[in-house]
Amino acid sequence: MGESPDIEAVRSYLGDLQDRLCVALEVLDGQARFRDDAWERAGGGGGRTRVLTGGAVFEQAGVNFSQVFGDHLPASATAARPELAGCGFQAMGVSLVVHPQNPYVPSSHLNVRFFIARHPCEPPLWWFGGGFDLTPYYGFDEDCVHWHRSARAACRPFGEAVYPRYKQWCDEYFFLKHRAEPRGIGGLFFDDLGPGGLPGGDGTGGFAECFAFLRAVAQSYPGAYLPLVERHRATAYGERERAFQKYRRGRYVEFNLVCDRGTLFGLQSGGRTESILMSLPPEVSFRYDWRPQPGSPEARLYEHFLVPRDWADWAEIQTESATPPRNL
Protein backbone atom coordinates (compact mmCIF):
# COMPACT_ATOMS: atom_id res chain seq x y z
CA MET A 1 0.00 0.00 0.00
CA GLY A 2 3.02 2.30 0.26
CA GLU A 3 3.20 5.27 2.60
CA SER A 4 0.33 5.93 4.97
CA PRO A 5 -1.88 8.92 4.19
CA ASP A 6 -1.52 12.00 6.38
CA ILE A 7 -5.20 12.65 7.02
CA GLU A 8 -4.59 15.66 9.23
CA ALA A 9 -2.44 17.33 6.58
CA VAL A 10 -5.26 16.96 4.06
CA ARG A 11 -7.86 18.30 6.49
CA SER A 12 -5.69 21.28 7.38
CA TYR A 13 -5.03 22.11 3.73
CA LEU A 14 -8.69 21.89 2.77
CA GLY A 15 -9.80 24.11 5.64
CA ASP A 16 -7.22 26.72 4.69
CA LEU A 17 -8.16 26.40 1.02
CA GLN A 18 -11.77 27.28 1.81
CA ASP A 19 -10.66 30.41 3.65
CA ARG A 20 -8.39 31.54 0.83
CA LEU A 21 -10.98 30.96 -1.88
CA CYS A 22 -13.57 32.97 0.05
CA VAL A 23 -11.16 35.87 0.53
CA ALA A 24 -10.30 35.89 -3.19
CA LEU A 25 -13.96 35.96 -4.22
CA GLU A 26 -14.87 38.66 -1.68
CA VAL A 27 -12.03 40.87 -2.87
CA LEU A 28 -13.09 40.45 -6.48
CA ASP A 29 -16.76 41.11 -5.73
CA GLY A 30 -15.96 44.16 -3.64
CA GLN A 31 -19.40 44.36 -2.02
CA ALA A 32 -20.88 41.17 -0.55
CA ARG A 33 -19.48 38.97 2.20
CA PHE A 34 -19.81 35.26 2.86
CA ARG A 35 -22.31 33.97 5.39
CA ASP A 36 -20.68 31.27 7.52
CA ASP A 37 -22.69 28.23 8.68
CA ALA A 38 -21.05 25.49 10.73
CA TRP A 39 -22.99 22.22 10.84
CA GLU A 40 -22.75 18.75 12.35
CA ARG A 41 -23.79 15.45 10.83
CA ALA A 42 -25.74 13.03 13.01
CA GLY A 43 -23.78 10.05 11.68
CA GLY A 44 -20.39 11.65 12.35
CA GLY A 45 -18.49 14.70 11.23
CA GLY A 46 -19.74 17.98 9.84
CA GLY A 47 -18.54 20.99 7.98
CA ARG A 48 -18.68 24.68 7.24
CA THR A 49 -20.77 26.14 4.46
CA ARG A 50 -20.02 29.65 3.26
CA VAL A 51 -22.37 31.37 0.81
CA LEU A 52 -22.23 34.84 -0.73
CA THR A 53 -25.39 36.27 -2.31
CA GLY A 54 -26.43 39.50 -4.01
CA GLY A 55 -22.94 40.74 -4.71
CA ALA A 56 -21.79 43.34 -7.21
CA VAL A 57 -20.27 40.58 -9.37
CA PHE A 58 -21.58 37.30 -7.99
CA GLU A 59 -25.28 36.59 -7.76
CA GLN A 60 -24.35 33.60 -5.64
CA ALA A 61 -21.10 31.88 -4.71
CA GLY A 62 -20.74 28.94 -2.35
CA VAL A 63 -17.61 27.37 -0.88
CA ASN A 64 -18.28 24.29 1.21
CA PHE A 65 -15.91 22.30 3.44
CA SER A 66 -17.03 18.97 4.85
CA GLN A 67 -15.48 16.09 6.77
CA VAL A 68 -17.81 13.17 7.41
CA PHE A 69 -17.47 9.67 8.85
CA GLY A 70 -19.65 6.59 8.57
CA ASP A 71 -19.89 2.84 9.04
CA HIS A 72 -20.95 2.12 5.44
CA LEU A 73 -20.02 3.86 2.20
CA PRO A 74 -23.10 5.09 0.31
CA ALA A 75 -24.09 3.36 -2.92
CA SER A 76 -22.85 6.31 -5.00
CA ALA A 77 -19.32 5.70 -3.68
CA THR A 78 -19.34 1.93 -4.25
CA ALA A 79 -21.02 1.78 -7.66
CA ALA A 80 -17.62 1.49 -9.34
CA ARG A 81 -16.04 -0.27 -6.35
CA PRO A 82 -18.46 -2.94 -5.13
CA GLU A 83 -15.72 -4.54 -3.05
CA LEU A 84 -15.94 -1.55 -0.69
CA ALA A 85 -19.62 -2.06 0.14
CA GLY A 86 -20.00 -2.24 3.90
CA CYS A 87 -16.69 -0.50 4.64
CA GLY A 88 -16.41 2.29 7.14
CA PHE A 89 -15.22 5.53 5.63
CA GLN A 90 -14.01 9.07 6.12
CA ALA A 91 -14.53 11.68 3.40
CA MET A 92 -13.48 15.31 3.27
CA GLY A 93 -13.42 17.95 0.60
CA VAL A 94 -13.94 21.50 -0.58
CA SER A 95 -16.52 22.31 -3.23
CA LEU A 96 -16.94 25.71 -4.88
CA VAL A 97 -19.65 26.89 -7.27
CA VAL A 98 -19.86 30.45 -8.60
CA HIS A 99 -22.87 31.95 -10.41
CA PRO A 100 -22.10 35.51 -11.60
CA GLN A 101 -24.62 38.28 -12.24
CA ASN A 102 -23.38 39.17 -15.72
CA PRO A 103 -24.32 36.61 -18.42
CA TYR A 104 -21.00 37.25 -20.14
CA VAL A 105 -19.15 35.92 -17.09
CA PRO A 106 -19.15 32.10 -16.99
CA SER A 107 -20.18 30.02 -14.02
CA SER A 108 -17.46 27.78 -12.63
CA HIS A 109 -17.01 24.82 -10.32
CA LEU A 110 -14.07 23.45 -8.33
CA ASN A 111 -13.98 20.35 -6.16
CA VAL A 112 -11.14 18.57 -4.39
CA ARG A 113 -11.76 15.62 -2.08
CA PHE A 114 -10.17 12.75 -0.17
CA PHE A 115 -11.65 9.39 0.81
CA ILE A 116 -10.40 6.62 3.03
CA ALA A 117 -12.26 3.33 3.37
CA ARG A 118 -11.59 0.91 6.19
CA HIS A 119 -12.28 -2.83 6.19
CA PRO A 120 -11.85 -4.70 9.49
CA CYS A 121 -9.56 -7.31 7.96
CA GLU A 122 -7.59 -5.26 5.46
CA PRO A 123 -5.41 -2.14 5.31
CA PRO A 124 -7.34 1.07 4.60
CA LEU A 125 -7.78 2.13 0.99
CA TRP A 126 -7.46 5.84 0.18
CA TRP A 127 -7.93 7.99 -2.89
CA PHE A 128 -8.21 11.60 -4.08
CA GLY A 129 -10.60 13.11 -6.59
CA GLY A 130 -11.66 16.47 -7.94
CA GLY A 131 -11.19 18.93 -10.75
CA PHE A 132 -12.75 22.08 -12.17
CA ASP A 133 -14.98 22.97 -15.10
CA LEU A 134 -16.32 26.10 -16.79
CA THR A 135 -19.88 26.83 -17.92
CA PRO A 136 -20.13 29.86 -20.23
CA TYR A 137 -23.39 31.35 -21.46
CA TYR A 138 -21.73 33.45 -24.15
CA GLY A 139 -18.44 31.90 -25.17
CA PHE A 140 -15.12 33.49 -26.06
CA ASP A 141 -12.27 31.55 -27.66
CA GLU A 142 -9.65 33.38 -25.61
CA ASP A 143 -11.43 32.41 -22.37
CA CYS A 144 -11.51 28.74 -23.34
CA VAL A 145 -7.86 28.76 -24.35
CA HIS A 146 -6.81 30.45 -21.10
CA TRP A 147 -8.90 28.06 -18.99
CA HIS A 148 -7.49 24.92 -20.58
CA ARG A 149 -3.91 26.16 -20.75
CA SER A 150 -4.16 26.87 -17.02
CA ALA A 151 -5.40 23.32 -16.48
CA ARG A 152 -2.59 21.90 -18.62
CA ALA A 153 0.02 23.97 -16.78
CA ALA A 154 -1.19 22.57 -13.45
CA CYS A 155 -0.86 19.01 -14.74
CA ARG A 156 2.40 19.30 -16.68
CA PRO A 157 4.82 18.83 -13.74
CA PHE A 158 3.22 15.42 -13.14
CA GLY A 159 3.69 14.08 -16.66
CA GLU A 160 2.53 14.75 -20.20
CA ALA A 161 -0.17 12.05 -20.02
CA VAL A 162 -2.02 13.66 -17.11
CA TYR A 163 -3.79 16.61 -18.76
CA PRO A 164 -5.12 14.73 -21.82
CA ARG A 165 -6.51 11.95 -19.63
CA TYR A 166 -8.20 14.20 -17.10
CA LYS A 167 -9.40 16.65 -19.76
CA GLN A 168 -11.12 13.78 -21.59
CA TRP A 169 -12.56 12.44 -18.35
CA CYS A 170 -14.01 15.88 -17.63
CA ASP A 171 -15.59 16.06 -21.09
CA GLU A 172 -17.16 12.65 -20.48
CA TYR A 173 -18.30 13.33 -16.92
CA PHE A 174 -19.89 16.76 -17.33
CA PHE A 175 -22.15 15.53 -20.11
CA LEU A 176 -25.94 15.47 -19.90
CA LYS A 177 -26.77 12.17 -21.55
CA HIS A 178 -30.48 12.90 -21.56
CA ARG A 179 -29.76 16.08 -23.56
CA ALA A 180 -26.79 14.70 -25.50
CA GLU A 181 -24.86 17.88 -24.76
CA PRO A 182 -21.96 18.99 -22.55
CA ARG A 183 -22.62 21.18 -19.52
CA GLY A 184 -19.86 23.56 -20.56
CA ILE A 185 -16.34 23.57 -21.99
CA GLY A 186 -14.86 21.16 -19.46
CA GLY A 187 -11.55 21.40 -17.68
CA LEU A 188 -10.20 18.63 -15.44
CA PHE A 189 -11.83 15.70 -13.68
CA PHE A 190 -10.05 12.93 -11.79
CA ASP A 191 -11.08 10.25 -9.33
CA ASP A 192 -9.65 7.10 -7.73
CA LEU A 193 -6.22 8.74 -7.55
CA GLY A 194 -4.51 6.50 -5.03
CA PRO A 195 -1.43 4.33 -4.52
CA GLY A 196 -1.29 3.47 -8.24
CA GLY A 197 -0.39 7.06 -9.02
CA LEU A 198 -1.04 9.38 -11.95
CA PRO A 199 -1.53 8.47 -15.63
CA GLY A 200 1.73 7.71 -17.37
CA GLY A 201 3.55 6.95 -14.12
CA ASP A 202 5.22 3.72 -13.12
CA GLY A 203 2.26 2.61 -10.99
CA THR A 204 3.92 3.21 -7.65
CA GLY A 205 2.34 6.62 -7.03
CA GLY A 206 2.27 7.43 -3.37
CA PHE A 207 0.38 9.69 -1.03
CA ALA A 208 2.81 12.61 -1.35
CA GLU A 209 2.57 12.71 -5.16
CA CYS A 210 -1.22 12.38 -5.21
CA PHE A 211 -1.68 15.04 -2.53
CA ALA A 212 0.69 17.34 -4.40
CA PHE A 213 -1.42 16.94 -7.54
CA LEU A 214 -4.62 17.78 -5.69
CA ARG A 215 -2.97 20.95 -4.35
CA ALA A 216 -1.73 21.88 -7.83
CA VAL A 217 -5.25 21.64 -9.24
CA ALA A 218 -6.73 23.72 -6.43
CA GLN A 219 -3.99 26.34 -6.63
CA SER A 220 -4.42 26.77 -10.37
CA TYR A 221 -8.13 27.59 -10.12
CA PRO A 222 -7.92 31.32 -9.20
CA GLY A 223 -5.45 32.01 -12.00
CA ALA A 224 -7.70 30.15 -14.42
CA TYR A 225 -11.01 31.73 -13.45
CA LEU A 226 -10.60 35.16 -11.88
CA PRO A 227 -9.11 36.80 -15.00
CA LEU A 228 -12.23 35.75 -16.92
CA VAL A 229 -14.42 37.49 -14.35
CA GLU A 230 -12.32 40.65 -14.58
CA ARG A 231 -12.45 40.54 -18.38
CA HIS A 232 -16.25 40.45 -18.65
CA ARG A 233 -17.71 41.79 -15.41
CA ALA A 234 -18.41 45.23 -16.90
CA THR A 235 -19.74 44.03 -20.27
CA ALA A 236 -23.13 45.60 -20.99
CA TYR A 237 -26.08 43.21 -21.25
CA GLY A 238 -29.86 43.33 -21.47
CA GLU A 239 -32.93 41.22 -20.90
CA ARG A 240 -32.14 38.93 -23.82
CA GLU A 241 -28.79 37.88 -22.38
CA ARG A 242 -30.20 37.58 -18.89
CA ALA A 243 -33.05 35.38 -20.12
CA PHE A 244 -30.61 33.09 -21.94
CA GLN A 245 -28.40 32.87 -18.85
CA LYS A 246 -31.38 31.76 -16.75
CA TYR A 247 -32.41 29.24 -19.39
CA ARG A 248 -28.92 27.72 -19.59
CA ARG A 249 -28.73 27.61 -15.81
CA GLY A 250 -31.51 25.05 -16.08
CA ARG A 251 -28.97 22.67 -17.58
CA TYR A 252 -26.81 23.23 -14.50
CA VAL A 253 -29.73 22.23 -12.30
CA GLU A 254 -30.44 19.16 -14.41
CA PHE A 255 -26.86 17.96 -14.22
CA ASN A 256 -26.50 18.47 -10.48
CA LEU A 257 -29.78 16.74 -9.65
CA VAL A 258 -29.72 13.98 -12.25
CA CYS A 259 -26.08 13.19 -13.01
CA ASP A 260 -23.71 14.45 -10.32
CA ARG A 261 -22.18 11.77 -8.09
CA GLY A 262 -21.18 14.33 -5.47
CA THR A 263 -24.79 15.40 -4.97
CA LEU A 264 -25.85 11.76 -4.65
CA PHE A 265 -23.07 11.01 -2.19
CA GLY A 266 -23.99 13.97 -0.01
CA LEU A 267 -27.67 13.06 0.10
CA GLN A 268 -27.08 9.31 0.54
CA SER A 269 -24.56 9.88 3.33
CA GLY A 270 -26.95 12.07 5.31
CA GLY A 271 -25.15 15.35 4.69
CA ARG A 272 -26.68 18.76 5.23
CA THR A 273 -29.15 19.32 2.40
CA GLU A 274 -28.73 23.12 2.28
CA SER A 275 -24.98 22.68 1.92
CA ILE A 276 -25.29 19.99 -0.74
CA LEU A 277 -27.68 22.06 -2.86
CA MET A 278 -25.86 25.38 -2.45
CA SER A 279 -24.44 24.62 -5.91
CA LEU A 280 -27.77 25.39 -7.59
CA PRO A 281 -28.18 28.82 -9.24
CA PRO A 282 -30.48 31.32 -7.49
CA GLU A 283 -32.59 32.23 -10.53
CA VAL A 284 -33.43 29.73 -13.27
CA SER A 285 -36.02 29.46 -16.03
CA PHE A 286 -37.25 26.47 -17.98
CA ARG A 287 -38.77 26.94 -21.44
CA TYR A 288 -40.43 24.11 -23.31
CA ASP A 289 -38.53 22.99 -26.43
CA TRP A 290 -36.78 26.35 -26.79
CA ARG A 291 -34.24 26.64 -29.59
CA PRO A 292 -31.87 29.52 -30.41
CA GLN A 293 -32.32 31.58 -33.53
CA PRO A 294 -29.94 30.39 -36.29
CA GLY A 295 -26.89 32.59 -36.60
CA SER A 296 -27.39 34.16 -33.16
CA PRO A 297 -24.80 34.41 -30.37
CA GLU A 298 -26.94 31.93 -28.43
CA ALA A 299 -26.77 29.43 -31.29
CA ARG A 300 -22.99 29.85 -31.41
CA LEU A 301 -22.74 28.57 -27.85
CA TYR A 302 -24.18 25.25 -28.99
CA GLU A 303 -22.40 25.06 -32.32
CA HIS A 304 -18.92 26.23 -31.36
CA PHE A 305 -18.42 25.99 -27.60
CA LEU A 306 -20.50 23.03 -26.45
CA VAL A 307 -18.31 20.80 -28.59
CA PRO A 308 -15.26 19.07 -27.08
CA ARG A 309 -12.13 20.67 -28.48
CA ASP A 310 -8.41 20.68 -27.80
CA TRP A 311 -8.63 24.24 -26.49
CA ALA A 312 -5.13 24.24 -25.00
CA ASP A 313 -3.69 24.05 -28.52
CA TRP A 314 -6.39 26.12 -30.24
CA ALA A 315 -4.51 28.14 -32.85
CA GLU A 316 -7.22 30.21 -34.53
CA ILE A 317 -6.79 33.19 -32.18
CA GLN A 318 -3.82 35.00 -30.73
CA THR A 319 -3.64 34.58 -26.96
CA GLU A 320 -1.07 34.78 -24.24
CA SER A 321 -0.03 31.73 -22.30
CA ALA A 322 -1.92 30.94 -19.13
CA THR A 323 -1.08 33.25 -16.27
CA PRO A 324 0.86 31.67 -13.40
CA PRO A 325 -1.39 30.20 -10.68
CA ARG A 326 -2.11 32.51 -7.77
CA ASN A 327 -0.79 31.05 -4.57
CA LEU A 328 -3.30 29.47 -2.20
pLDDT band at 325 (very low <50, low <70, confident <90, very high): very low
**Percent of the chain at pLDDT above 90?**
74
pLDDT for 200 = 87
pLDDT at residue 250 is higher than 50: yes
232 is in an annotated binding site: no
pLDDT for 271 = 77
For residue range 130-164, what is the model confidence (pLDDT) as tens digits? 999 999 999 999 999 999 999 999 999 999 999 99
pLDDT for 209 = 96
Q: Which residues touch 133 (CB under 8 Å, ≥6 apart)?
A: 108, 109, 170, 174, 183, 184, 185, 186, 187, 188, 189
15 is in an annotated binding site: no
pLDDT for 110 = 98
269 is in an annotated binding site: no
Instruction: Return phi, psi of residue 45, to 5°.
Output: 95, -160
Structural domains of the chain in order of their starting residue, each with its CATH number: 7-305 (3.40.1500.10)
pLDDT for 212 = 97
pLDDT for 33 = 98
113 is in an annotated binding site: yes
For residue range 55-86, what is the model confidence (pLDDT) as tens digits? 999 999 999 999 998 877 666 655 566 666 66
For residue range 166-225, what is the model confidence (pLDDT) as tens digits? 999 999 999 999 999 999 999 999 999 999 899 988 777 899 999 999 999 999 999 999
Among 127, 133, 14, CA closest to 66? 14
pLDDT at residue 322 is higher than 50: no
Catalytic residue among 72, 109, 232, 304: 109
Among 136, 97, 98, CA closest to 244? 136
pLDDT band at 324 (very low <50, low <70, confident <90, very high): very low
pLDDT for 316 = 61
More confidently predicted of 13 and 123: 13
Judge whether 109 counts as a catalytic residue: yes
Mean pLDDT taken over the chain: 90
pLDDT for 77 = 59
Q: Which residues pair with 122 in a beta bridge?
A: 119
Q: How far apart are CA 244 and CA 252, in angstroms?
A: 13
Among 144, 50, 126, CA closest to 84? 126
pLDDT for 318 = 44
More confidently predicted of 221 and 317: 221
Among 286, 245, 272, 205, CA closest to 46? 272
